[in-house]
Amino acid sequence: MTTPLQTRIVKHIKSSGPLPLAEYMHWCMADPKDGYYANQTAIGAKGDFITAPELSQMFGEMIGIWAVETWEMLDKPSRFNLVELGPGKGTLMQDLLRIGNAVPDFLKAAEVQMIETSEKLVDTQKQNLSEYENITWQTSLQDIPAQPTLVIANEFLDVLPIRQYIKAEDEWREHAISIDEKDNLVWTLGAGVLAAEILPENATTEPDGAVFEISTIREAFITNTCDLLRQNQGAALFIDYGHGKTAFGDTVQAMRAHGYTDILKEPGLADLTSHVDFDALAKIAKTSEMNVSPLAKQGEFLLAKGLIERAGQLGHNCSPEIQEQLTQQAERLALPDEMGDLFKVLEFGTILRVLENLIMWG
């Protein structure tokens, strides 16, 4: 099926030439009319993929424990920003604020700031968080008020566009999308060439066809977060799938109805994501004068925050079926061959105790 977005992309390619992957991803995901997040029921059992907060309330609750601990480390400011980037259905924030119920001063001080581009998801977030008053929707990190700040983001960085470069005869040429004689979308090499100094040292030994990925928009989000924290004090927690060491390889994938599909097929209908290079992002945070905790695996992070204890508490006096469900949820989130190892936790901020806190599982 030719999607409306495909028709527009083909027209664009005919007039302006091949479209770099990053621009293609941007159209597919963020186009306000025909893009994925404007139209699709992305997240959840009925959507295309399921995220950790949708799997279990315990995920957001453990982030809530991190938020309360970090607020305490900041000397319990009486007002602070609790910023979430790409909050999806608002489930993580709901679960996080539930933990806050046990710490009334935290809840009173928290000014929740949601940064979300999809109008459809903003509506869902407003519905799901209607019982809380102190929530504002913003379009950019630049609009966040000047006061101590916590930033959280789960599966946000992976949806941001990336550029891919392919090694071809000693040059790294930009991966782009063109059309064939039947107007099908096909891969091609674009005009852009990656400067050698951006590549890792061992790039010269990579064979032709090797792939290197960069995401300038991800890097910009990290830089802007660092600026915000440096100016106001605070800390950030980015959770996503990705690698701890910069590496070569094609990690872009398209997901639809819980299965993989072709990236170039039916643009706008599938969720396009890629693995996050946490190494590159941690370096940016360090250069931006942040204390950066050792990169942790999601499983380690959740266990350190009390996942097992929380599962036990929730299952107390419940039926064996409910207890079994809770065990399965905890396993899915934390076991190494489930989400536990692939998903990583990048934490940085102005407070040094953040670093000390993490050394035990870094």
Per CB under 6 A, which region of 113-121, 225-233, 276-284, 297-305 contacts ligand SAH?
113-121
* 161 near ligand SAH, rule: CB under 6 A: no
Q: Which of 61, 116, 174, 240 binds ligand SAH (CB under 6 A)?
A: 116
Best CA proximity match to 248, nearest among 208, 275, 212:
212
Cα dist from 17 to 10, 13, 183, whole Å? 10, 5, 13
Is the CB of 141 or the CB of 229 nearer to ligand SAH? Answer: 141
Q: Which of 349, 123, 352, 315 is nearest to 236 (CA)?
A: 349
Smallest distance from ligand SAH to CB 90, Å: 9
In the complex with ligand SAH, the residue whose CB is nearer, 63 or 65, is 63
Query: Which residue, 86 or 349, has its beta carbon nearer to ligand SAH?
Result: 86
- Residue among 139 and 319 whose Cβ is closer to ligand SAH: 139
Q: Does 154 bind ligand SAH (CB under 6 A)?
A: yes
115 near ligand SAH (CB under 6 A): yes
Question: What six digits make up the tokens of 289?
Answer: 């004068």
Nearest to 224 by CA among 83, 344, 32: 83
In total, the chain counts a number of residues equal to 362
Single-letter amino acid code for the residue at 266: E
Nearer to ligand SAH, 18 or 158 (CB): 158
**Of residues 20, 64, 88, 349, which one binds ligand SAH by CB under 6 A?**
88
Q: In the set 40, 117, 134, 288, which binds ligand SAH (CB under 6 A)?
A: 117
Give the chain's end-to-end CA distance (angstroms, integer): 47
Q: How far apart are CA 27 and CA 133, in angstroms?
A: 34
235 CB-contact burial (10 Å; exposed 0-12 / middle 13-18 / buried 19+): buried
Query: Residue 298 in contact with residue 334, Cβ under 8 Å?
Result: yes
Q: Residue 96, CB half-sphere, CA atoms under 13 Å: how many?
A: 27
Binding residue for ligand SAH, selected from 121, 281, 285, 333, defined by CB under 6 A: 121
* Site pattern 50..79 for ligand SAH (x: CB under 6 A): -x-xx-------------------------
Cα(202)–Cα(142) distance, rounded to whole angstroms? 37
87 scored as a contact of ligand SAH (CB under 6 A): yes
215 sits near ligand SAH (criterion: CB under 6 A) = no
**Closest to ligand SAH by CB, 237 or 358:** 237
Smaller CB separation from ligand SAH, 86 or 190: 86
- To ligand SAH, the closest distance from the beta carbon of 215 in angstroms equals 12
Q: Of 34, 155, 240, 300, which one interacts with ligand SAH (CB under 6 A)?
A: 155
Strand order in the sheet with 253-256: 259-261, 253-256, 271-273
How far, in Å, CA of 93 to CA of 72, rounded?
19
State the nearest-atom distance from the C-beta of 59 to ligand SAH, in Å. 8
Q: Of 216, 211, 281, 218, which Cα lies nearest the Cα of 247?
A: 211
Q: At what angle do helices 307-315 and 320-334 cross, to 10 degrees?
A: 170
Nearer to ligand SAH, 10 or 347 (CB): 347
| Six-digit token string for 342 | 């692939």
* Backbone φ and ψ of 297, nearest 5°: -85, 150
Binding mask 36-55 for ligand SAH (x = CB under 6 A): -x-----x-------x-xx-
Q: Which is closer to ligand SAH, CB of 34 or CB of 54?
A: 54
Q: Residues binding ligand SAH: what is the number (CB under 6 A)? A: 20
- The contact set with ligand SAH (CB under 6 A) reads 30, 37, 43, 51, 53-54, 85-88, 92, 115-118, 121, 154-156, 159
